[in-house]
Structure 1
């Protein structure tokens, strides 16, 4: 009889955990994305490209944290944007009230992260004992209440206007760290902030990869497949689910802090909007649930489409018009970009039911690779 596969194994403690991409195409895509993000400030000059790259970094970590819940435990939570908002507002309120200094940044982190974890703990203990649909409804109610509260406490949060603030001098765009050298590149505070966002997001994703490939992560997958059987085997399912909820909340709050630092602003539309929750769900589904790598792919595809599809459609519409093609110029008009964005996502779900990562692992990966999660 074949030996059982060890939980944490005889595999070495790799930086990417014991779960490689298991597909040559997926590995190539991930490497290209990482290299492009690392080189964005120098390869793609301009504020828009840098903003898009920073948003990809933040949302990759945010989506990965949600995948820890949805993909690895099967729990549908609508409170994830609440934790994201807690991180954003904590750093914004601290920097707004205490001024642009590192003590304010530390205060925002020290207040925001524990608050998110405590709320996640409370939600987990009180609602993860019930059926999945009731857990989803409870998290939706809590998130809605928090959004209303943030809008009403205008003396603290700025209400619907949100809070704008300044960053410490080192992170400001006007701070030149390295003047233009012989390559013509200049490193200022804005670029330093971008690399801070990139590095912390990458570390959080690597940490989540380690978590899901640990014995704890195997238990989460067992709970996802059959909660009653996991309980019968002696696992404390409520403890594991609550712990996963707290970990996901901490990463989401950290992503919120990074987003606020990048935007120098925190408000309902950028931190607590329900549309952000829908975007996260779409990114998880597009990339592939239960993979973590899918968060990087899903965030990249979604945010690039969100920012550049309209411009590409304008070019295509103009080309079709000059070629004298009937109907196409109207169908490809930039004003219809949301329609095409929706159709693209419907097509991606239809043709990639297990997400891009699942499809690449099953059809485009190494034949010798192990089975996916």
Structure 2
């Protein structure tokens, strides 16, 4: 049953299986394990980035396409819900219409970009997607009457998802069962379903063709596969999953703005997640998202503890200063790429293969 659920794509490493199980249990029980709002926000962000990074891996890891417009579709999903909820008020109808409109727009744009750009060489396609994403970011920032401009849009979600909605008067195992609780588990169930759906796609005959195109597109074309069609479909599927990730983030934050979903920094984060976790493995998106999001949120706090322990030491206290957490974050990522060139998941699977 589990093998079928995972589309016969098992972790193939005992340590990796344990890590994935721990991540799944921690995310499933986060409202009960972590009382602070910050920890719950981190867990929700991990789930959203798992979906976003896995969808980008459909392009980069499985098809060999380098695109810098992926966060554009992420922002389209979030803006769809935000704009619809702002103009029509809180309600499931506004969420449904906004999400559906976002998915249609993401599918249309990705189809057009794929159809007209995927015939060119990889570097030129990357530049085209970067230009389109930059233009969309500028458009979202300037259309203040529609998108809220640089300030973004703050909106209300349906009453069932509002923090003020209490379902149980007393806490259950330390967790308050309210609208925020329901929203979290909505994100958990949908994210898990989307990851399993992507596993099914990459392990289907369609996914095998994408991997063949990644390895040698000329040979795939020679044996009868229209590579442009498959690349375009891969582009559309990745855009749809990214838009759904944006919908989930908007529902959780009840806000969206250019810096929240459209910034180039998010695109770099997604690229780092895929590279560190392991390209061509959906599990790599899980591992990479956990590592990156935890590092971004807790590395500075950890360095504060370390700085307090070495206070007074001339050079060391300056190096471990919390103000330099970005420097150490970069060093950690450089070391991880150096020692795990195929990503964490790829390295773990290679170790198992050598032992066998």
How high is the TM-score relative to the length of structure 2? 0.97
Q: 1:346 aligns with which of 330, 334, 343?
A: 334
Cα deviation code 1:213-250 (max 9, x no counterpart): 11111100110011101000000101100001000000
For 1:318, the equivalent position in structure 2 comes to 308
Partner of 1:5: none
2: CA distance, partners of 1:366 / 1:245: 35
- What stretches of structure 2 of length at least 5 have no aligned partner? none
Q: Does the 8 Å contact 2:114/2:231 carry over to 1? A: yes
Indicate whether 1:251 and 2:241 are aligned. yes
C-alpha distance in 1 between matches for 2:45 and 2:169: 26
2: CA distance, partners of 1:168 / 1:182 = 23
Alignment of 1:87-98 (within 5 A): 87-98=77-88
Q: Which residue of 2 aligns with 1:7?
A: none
Aligned counterparts of 2:171 and 2:184: Cα–Cα separation in 1: 20
How far apart are 1:184 and its partner, in Å?
3.9
Separation in 2 of the partners of 1:366 and 1:52?
Answer: 36
Name the one with the larger helix percent: 2
Counterpart check, 1:363 vs 2:340: no
Cα distance in 2 between the residues matched to 1:154 and 1:292: 37
In 2: Cα distance, 1:38 partner to 1:165 partner: 27
The unaligned stretches of length 5 or more in structure 1 are: 1-10, 369-373
1:50-82 superposed Cα distances (whole Å, 9 cap, x missing partner): 000000000000000000000011100011011
Deviation at 1:12, TM superposition (A): 9.7
Instruction: Report the CA distance shift for 1:262/1:184 in structure 2 as closer, same or farther (over 3 A).
Output: closer
After TM superposition, give the deviation of residue 87 of structure 1 in Å: 0.4
Distance 1:66 1:182, change over 3 A: closer
The Cα of 1:179 is off from its aligned counterpart by: 2.7
Structure-to-structure mapping, 1:42-53, within 5 angstroms: 42-53=32-43
2:19 aligned residue: 29
**C-alpha distance in structure 2 between counterparts of 1:145 and 1:182, whole Å:** 48
Q: CA deviation at 1:153?
A: 1.1
Separation in 2, partners of 1:296, 1:332: 29
- C-alpha spacing 1:13/1:310, structure 2 compared with 1 (3 Å): closer
Choose which of 114, 137, 154 in structure 2 pairs with 1:124.
114
- The Cα offsets for residues 253-305 of structure 1, whole Å up to 9 and x where unpaired, read as 00001011111111000011011101100000110000010000000000000
1:174 counterpart = 2:164: yes
Give distance in 1, aligned partners of 2:313 and 2:256: 46
SS at match of 2:235: helix
Give the deviation of 1:140 after TM superposition: 0.7
Deviation at 1:149, TM superposition (A): 0.9
| Alignment counterpart, residue 104 of structure 2, candidates 95, 114, 123 | 114
Q: Give the match's secondary structure for 1:176.
A: coil
- Give 2:144's aligned residue: 154
Indicate if the aligned counterparts of 2:35 and 2:175 stay in contact, CA closer than 8 A.
Answer: no
Give the alignment partner of residue 324 of structure 2, picking from 303, 319, 336. Answer: 336
Pick from 297, 300, 310 the counterpart of residue 287 of structure 2. Answer: 297
Question: 1:97: Cα distance to partner?
Answer: 0.3
TM alignment of 1:184-223, pairs within 5 A: 184-223=174-213
CA contact (8 A) 2:78 2:243 kept: yes
CA distance in 1, matches of 2:135, 2:239: 17
Q: Structure 2: how far apart are the matches of 1:309 and 1:13?
A: 36
C-alpha RMSD over aligned residues: 1.5
Give yes or no for contact 2:340–2:347 (8 Å, CA) kept in 1: yes
Structure 1 residues 317 and 242: alpha-carbon distance in aligned structure 2, compared to 1, 3 A threshold: same
The alignment status of 1:133 with 2:133, answered yes or no, reads no
Aligned pair count reads 356
